Chain A
């Protein structure tokens, strides 16, 4: 860490360092930030922008960037603050890490920070006629300012960017998303293949897609805003409403983050239960993904096969957690209740059945000549782009990125388990599909080991002793887990408020699907409409995870 600090200090003398936290914190003035960012990526190999978090620190606004070196998995975070609150401006890093494009739009949407030289400075979630910036601490939520609007959004095609000239003067330049003579079709918000209320505006030339504009926010609930008015145990509830196919895993992430901040030790048996639930969730999610991918290509029967086996997993959830979808099972310090007496038996049974049925899935779909023609070489994402767009999870690994958080930053008990990270190099839709299929085998392997470990475990402790009032010291923490669709990160900032019922000062969820949707335009360009469906199904995002 000290080495790195010296290297960065050499690159940017104005940088200030703080190495007391979990990662090295670099604080840079905005004027130097863009140059430092480029040097960090090109010279020090920090090529993966893990998270970009906008924060309102009352006097100033700012952004915290979590950056990872994809070779050494070393992580640092950089804090950049704006000069004022009235016209907050920062330099965009979207030309360095492409993923920052949508992330900065989100920060602009919620904090009103204008990113200089950003190519497309539109709101990302909210309507373009929204008044105010909701995540600012002084936001006026009055209904007079933002009534329930029933008319269509105006001037959807208008965009702008703030361009800086050599003298440092920043000027607004208006632009257009689509030209007037383009044939633009709406894919969504109600469309059978967007897996939810997602909307793409696709410009077509015959059957060929020329450009895709992502219009998001149709089910945006403002989870991050809501969490700021809830106590820590209450915030857990919302993690399951993001990627509902990774409900256990997301909840586990927030629990881990809060436990880390509290310094709480979780009983090993509780951690094992959580881990088994995570892997069951992953299995269920990949089965769903198989079903949706096949159905989007017209193989309806395969969809039912995938759904048939998920029932087994849902039954396990049902018996132990009392619910099938939003299980609310993990909690700070462990899990809310002990497992069902037949839990391990059920898990083993599910593993056996799914392992057997996987062969049937391959027989039905994988080798089918139409399926191969539809997926092979379609929507290729190479390794550099995958890193640039911070694509993680099965989609990232299909492009050859070593990004499994269970391996790169082991959490929970994963370093005790013997499993392989499935990596392919083709980067096409077929590779993404196959990575998921192979990951199911790995999950089954983990589950079997976990069952053995669980049976060897003594006692019936499922939760640690947790204080009734959860209070965190002032500070900020970041916790990543491997969710079903990629690295799910939680940024938690606490102001150390001494009052009872402490609430998080800022809680940000870095969801994998948000990044996944960023590559839709890149991969679908110059492919056909049918390929757009294949590609979006193979990158497999979940809309509530984008729209938080």
Chain B
């Protein structure tokens, strides 16, 4: 089988080039700076692309046109929004905890940035490949809830406090389900390294390979990730019709923008993780026996495969969000503790049996 372009050629070349002209510590530092710049740029670009994407999808679902006025097809709308939001005054409420109030958006941003950094974008296109990559992602993504709780608490407002409490209850609960479905996949892959998980899917995506338990894990993941992300029908922490804007009611300007940005990046991250765990990551779609088809699929660069899958998953998340009404807090908790988590646990055992018996493909 013809191998597609491996991005590690570029990174190795860069590393050698830098090592040749400077001491090792400086080379590493320079690489870190380059990576950080690329990451930040990718982060903001993806966020903007996602905001536009959501606007178009939402408009399409709601029989509207969406943004059309600023630039061709409204493409510059997001830039206009960003410039506007940068100009706005940062307002802090009287008697609010200024330090925590200002810290909270950064915490949320840092959490999503850390998770974002772990995603393998294509063959060899990854910043660092841990042997416990899956755990790392779960661990750092939980920092976000801290930021949200702080935001709600420090704002000195009753609405934000209720929003923060809701989000605390929600995110901590649904993290369990996300973790369980990730574990199910880890069990099937036999490795926790993200690249390892992707590579074991070269001959078939886990969604198709893993029998029933993989499908169950996928569904649980989609539901729980939606909740993790505070997106409809689980957007209770924001719940604009109940709590005006939930935990970020009292934020303005770019601090609000950070929450907004992080929300869209998180959407990309959960879609990306879904793609990695269940849809083969950057692996092309292969159908056993169809050699010509497989060859053709191989021609598509791995980066496109990954982004394509992530965008597809995002479309599903958006579809859900714009179709369903919001659940109530007790129903949301009941769904997690009474259904998703027990099913997830049983599913994990089921997957272990499938793997030990070798029933999977």
Check: B162 CB closer than 8 A to any chain A CB.
Answer: yes
Check: B159 CB closer than 8 A to any chain A CB.
Answer: yes
**A-contact 0/1 string along B319-351, CB 8 Å cutoff:** 000111111111100000000000000000000
Check: B64 CB closer than 8 A to any chain A CB.
Answer: yes
Give CA–CA (A531, B327) in the complex, Å.
Answer: 11
Stretch of A51-59, A84-92, A370-378 contacting B (4+ beta carbons < 8 Å) = A370-378
| Cβ A298 vs Cβ B158 within 8 A | no
Known: A193-B242, A530-B239. A298 touches B326 (CB 8 A): yes
| Cβ B325 vs Cβ A370 within 8 A | yes
Residues of A within 8 A of B61 (CB): 301
Most chain A Cβ neighbours within 10 Å, of B236, B244, B324: B324
Min C-beta distance of B263 to chain A, whole Å: 16
Among A185, A191, A295, A374, contact of B327 (Cβ-Cβ < 8 Å): A374
| Cβ A533 vs Cβ B241 within 8 A | yes
- With both beta carbons as reference points, the residue of chain A lying nearest to B323 in the complex is identified as A301
Residues of B within 8 A of A477 (CB): none
Check: A300 CB closer than 8 A to any chain B CB.
Answer: yes
| Cβ B330 vs Cβ A528 within 8 A | yes
Check: A322 CB closer than 8 A to any chain B CB.
Answer: no
Residues of A within 8 A of B6 (CB): none
In B38-88, the 8 Å CB interface with A consists of: 58, 61-64
In B228-255, the 8 Å CB interface with A consists of: 232-233, 235-236, 239-244
Known: A185-B159, A368-B324, A370-B233. A298 touches B239 (CB 8 A): yes
Give CA–CA (A142, B241) in the complex, Å.
Answer: 41
Give CA–CA (A540, B240) in the complex, Å.
Answer: 19
Residues of A within 8 A of B235 (CB): 298
Min C-beta distance of B144 to chain A, whole Å: 22
Min C-beta distance of B22 to chain A, whole Å: 54
Give CA–CA (A298, B166) in the complex, Å.
Answer: 16
- With both beta carbons as reference points, the residue of chain B lying nearest to A294 in the complex is identified as B325
Known: A374-B328, A528-B330, A529-B162. A297 touches B323 (CB 8 A): no
Residues of B within 8 A of A308 (CB): 63
Residues of B within 8 A of A207 (CB): 162, 166, 329-330
Give CA–CA (A529, B236) in the complex, Å.
Answer: 11
| Cβ A192 vs Cβ B63 within 8 A | no
Residues of A within 8 A of B325 (CB): 294, 297-299, 365, 368, 370-371, 374
Known: A368-B324, A529-B242. A298 touches B330 (CB 8 A): no
Residues of B within 8 A of A365 (CB): 325
Residues of A within 8 A of B323 (CB): 299, 301, 364
- With both beta carbons as reference points, the residue of chain B lying nearest to A528 in the complex is identified as B328
Among B58, B162, B232, contact of A298 (Cβ-Cβ < 8 Å): B232
Check: A304 CB closer than 8 A to any chain B CB.
Answer: yes
Interface size class for chain B? Answer: 20 to 34
Residues of A within 8 A of B241 (CB): 192-193, 295-298, 533
Give CA–CA (A192, B244) in the complex, Å.
Answer: 6
Give CA–CA (A295, B159) in the complex, Å.
Answer: 19
| Cβ B159 vs Cβ A297 within 8 A | no
Give CA–CA (A298, B61) in the complex, Å.
Answer: 15
- With both beta carbons as reference points, the residue of chain A lying nearest to B232 in the complex is identified as A298
Residues of A within 8 A of B62 (CB): 300-301, 304-305
| Cβ A533 vs Cβ B242 within 8 A | yes
Known: A192-B244, A193-B242. A301 touches B329 (CB 8 A): no
Give CA–CA (A183, B322) in the complex, Å.
Answer: 33
- With both beta carbons as reference points, the residue of chain B lying nearest to A303 in the complex is identified as B62
In A316-370, the 8 Å CB interface with B consists of: 364-365, 368, 370
| Cβ B240 vs Cβ A370 within 8 A | no
Residues of A within 8 A of B326 (CB): 297-299, 370, 374, 530
Min C-beta distance of A425 to chain B, whole Å: 24
Min C-beta distance of B17 to chain A, whole Å: 51
Give CA–CA (A192, B326) in the complex, Å.
Answer: 15
Residues of B within 8 A of A304 (CB): 62-64
Residues of A within 8 A of B243 (CB): 529
- With both beta carbons as reference points, the residue of chain B lying nearest to A531 in the complex is identified as B328
Residues of B within 8 A of A528 (CB): 328-330
Most chain A Cβ neighbours within 10 Å, of B239, B241, B323: B241
| Cβ A370 vs Cβ B329 within 8 A | no
Min C-beta distance of A208 to chain B, whole Å: 10
- With both beta carbons as reference points, the residue of chain A lying nearest to B61 in the complex is identified as A301
Give CA–CA (A533, B241) in the complex, Å.
Answer: 7
Residues of B within 8 A of A529 (CB): 162, 242-243
Residues of B within 8 A of A373 (CB): 327-328, 331
Residues of A within 8 A of B63 (CB): 304-305, 308
**B-contact 0/1 string along A190-210, CB 8 Å cutoff:** 011100000000001001000
Residues of A within 8 A of B327 (CB): 370, 373-374
Residues of B within 8 A of A532 (CB): 242
Give CA–CA (A249, B114) in the complex, Å.
Answer: 60
Give CA–CA (A531, B242) in the complex, Å.
Answer: 9
Among B233, B239, B322, contact of A301 (Cβ-Cβ < 8 Å): B322
Min C-beta distance of B359 to chain A, whole Å: 32
Give CA–CA (A297, B325) in the complex, Å.
Answer: 5
- With both beta carbons as reference points, the residue of chain B lying nearest to A185 in the complex is identified as B158
- With both beta carbons as reference points, the residue of chain A lying nearest to B166 in the complex is identified as A207
Residues of A within 8 A of B232 (CB): 298
- With both beta carbons as reference points, the residue of chain A lying nearest to B327 in the complex is identified as A370
Give CA–CA (A301, B331) in the complex, Å.
Answer: 22
Interface residues of A (CB under 8 A from B): 183, 185, 191-193, 204, 207, 294-301, 304-305, 308, 364-365, 368, 370-371, 373-374, 528-533
Instruction: Supply 16 further A-B pairs (C-beta < 8 A) apart from A301-B322, A529-B242, A533-B241.
Output: A191-B244, A193-B242, A204-B162, A207-B329, A295-B241, A298-B233, A298-B325, A304-B62, A364-B323, A370-B331, A373-B327, A374-B331, A528-B330, A529-B162, A530-B236, A530-B326
Q: 9 closest A-B pairs (Cβ-Cβ)?
A: A298-B326, A297-B325, A299-B325, A304-B62, A193-B241, A530-B328, A185-B158, A296-B241, A298-B325
Could you list 29 A-B pairs, sorted by A, with CB under 8 Å? Answer: A183-B158, A193-B241, A193-B242, A204-B162, A297-B325, A297-B326, A298-B232, A298-B239, A298-B324, A298-B326, A299-B324, A299-B326, A300-B62, A301-B61, A301-B62, A301-B323, A304-B62, A304-B63, A365-B325, A370-B233, A370-B324, A373-B331, A374-B325, A374-B326, A374-B328, A528-B328, A529-B242, A530-B236, A530-B242
